[in-house]
Amino acid sequence: MATITEGPRPMAMADYKGRVDPDWCPGCGDYGVLAAVQKALVELQIPNHQVVTISGIGCSSNFPGFIETYGMHTLHGRALPVATGVKMANHELTVLVTGGDGDGFGIGGNHFAHAMRRNVDLTYIVMDNQIYGLTTGQTSPTSQIGMKTKSTPFGNVEGPIHPIASALACGATFVARGFSADQKHLSGLIRQAIEHKGFSFIDVFSPCVTYNKDNTFQWFRPRVKKLEDDPAYDSGDWLAAMEKSILWGEEIPIGKFFERTDLPSLDEAEPVLKDGPMVGRPDHIDPAIARAFIEELM
């Protein structure tokens, strides 16, 4: 995946700097995520033309415009199937998917589940701000009960989804959580996620400073606890990961919850790819094979 095939010059942060500056609100958590991704790519030295960054729609989904890679800014909720298509057509590319909690767990929830069970080899980073930012502040699937938003002015009465538990249940082979304010930690997770062969999911607390007045940087800072700080924690233990996944309140774990490397990713499992990527193959089917297809019908 992440092998360098061209160019002697090492990639630097500037090579991933997007054509335009991000137009997120000052202080938005997404800035930290962008920087962490760029940092991880520099560390991995992946040429920017071998990376495809794919998003849906939302503040966070504006991401591909702010990083210099091949990018696709698709439809709300549809980044994962698009990314799966990209990967299946050219599995030599490094595929990053970036977006919001609404995009990924709301409208995109079904693709989320299915991309994970297929173990598509991509890295999915959700900038989870527990709110719909771009539409100016409605509840999201990760909004907590009681939260007041424009769509729940008297407080949300619906329970949230649990991204980490769901990812584990759906068979994701790399599951982590980061915090936008801890860029070094986050960028380490992203690096591992990209290196992981298979579906990597990172839920990132990326506070919306404009619309989420509950789950702010200040709220998270004292609560997040790194799983890495507990030497006894075994990220190979699915059930242990499940147990940690539902902690919420005074202590909220971040870090790598789970990784397994024994399952083939979809491109590895798919026999059609044994001859290399689909892209670049000759247009026409071998005439003998084509003839056999017709013979079948005669």
Partner 1 sequence: MGHTFTIGIGGAAGQGVATPGDIFAKIFSRRGLHLNAYNAYQSIIRGGHTFLTIRTGADPVTNMGDRIDLLIPLNQDTMDRHLGLLGEGGACLYNADTIQPGTHAEGVQLCALPVSTLADISRNKVAQNTIAIGAAISMMGIGFQSLEDVIREQFGRKAAAVADENVAVARAGYDYATQNFRPFARPLPMSDNRYAVLSGNTALAMGGAAAGVKFYCAYPMSPSTGVLHWMATHAREAGIMVRQVEDELGVVNMAIGAAQAGVRAMCATSGGGFALMSEALGLSAMAEIPIVVIDCQRAGPSTGVPTKTEQGDLWQMLGAAFGDYPRVIAAPLDIADCFTLLAEMWNLVDKFQVPGLVLADLLLSEGRLSVDPKVLDFAPHVDRGEMITSPNGGPGEGGYKRYKITESGVSPRAIPGVPGYTHVVASDEHDEDGVLISDMFTNTHKRRAMMEKRMRKENGIAAAVAPPKLQGPADADVTLIGWGSTQGVIEEARALLAEEGITANQLQVRWIVPLHGEAIVEQLKNAKRTIIVENNYSGQFARYLRSETSFVADGHIRKYDGEPFMPHHIVEAVREQLAGGVTLSVPVHEIMV
Contact set with a copy of itself (CB under 8 A): 107-110, 113-114, 117-119, 141, 154, 157-162, 165-166, 168-171, 238-239, 242-243, 245-246, 263, 266, 269-271
- CA 294, CA 164: separation in Å to the nearest integer? 50
Nearer to a copy of itself by Cβ, of 135 and 216: the residue is 135
State in angstroms the smallest separation of the CB of 270 from partner 1: 7
- CA 244, CA 238: separation in Å to the nearest integer? 10
102 CA to centre of own chain:
13
Q: What spatial distance separates the first Cα and last Cα of the chain, rounded to whole Å?
A: 44
State in angstroms the smallest separation of the CB of 100 from ligand TPP: 2
State in angstroms the smallest separation of the CB of 25 from ligand SF4: 3
- CA 246, CA 10: separation in Å to the nearest integer? 41
Q: Which of residues 243-282 bind partner 1 (CB under 8 A)?
A: 270-273, 275, 278-281
- CA 285, CA 288: separation in Å to the nearest integer? 8
79 counts as binding ligand TPP under rule CB under 6 A: no
Write the secondary structure of 77-123 as one string of H (helix), E (strand) and C (coil): CCHHHHHHHHHHHCCCCEEEEEEEHHHHHHHCHHHHHHHHHHCCCCE
Q: Which of residues 87-126 bind Mg ion (CB under 5 A)?
A: 100-102
180 counts as binding Mg ion under rule CB under 5 A: no
Write the secondary structure of 247-272 as one string of H (helix), E (strand) and C (coil): CCCCCEEEEEEEECCCCCCHHHHCHH
Nearer to a copy of itself by Cβ, of 50 and 143: the residue is 143
Residue 90 contact, options partner 1, ligand TPP, a copy of itself, none, Cβ 5-8 Å cut-off depending on partner type: partner 1
Q: Write out the residues near ligand TPP by the rule CB under 6 A.
A: 57-60, 76, 99-103, 127, 129, 131-135, 140, 208
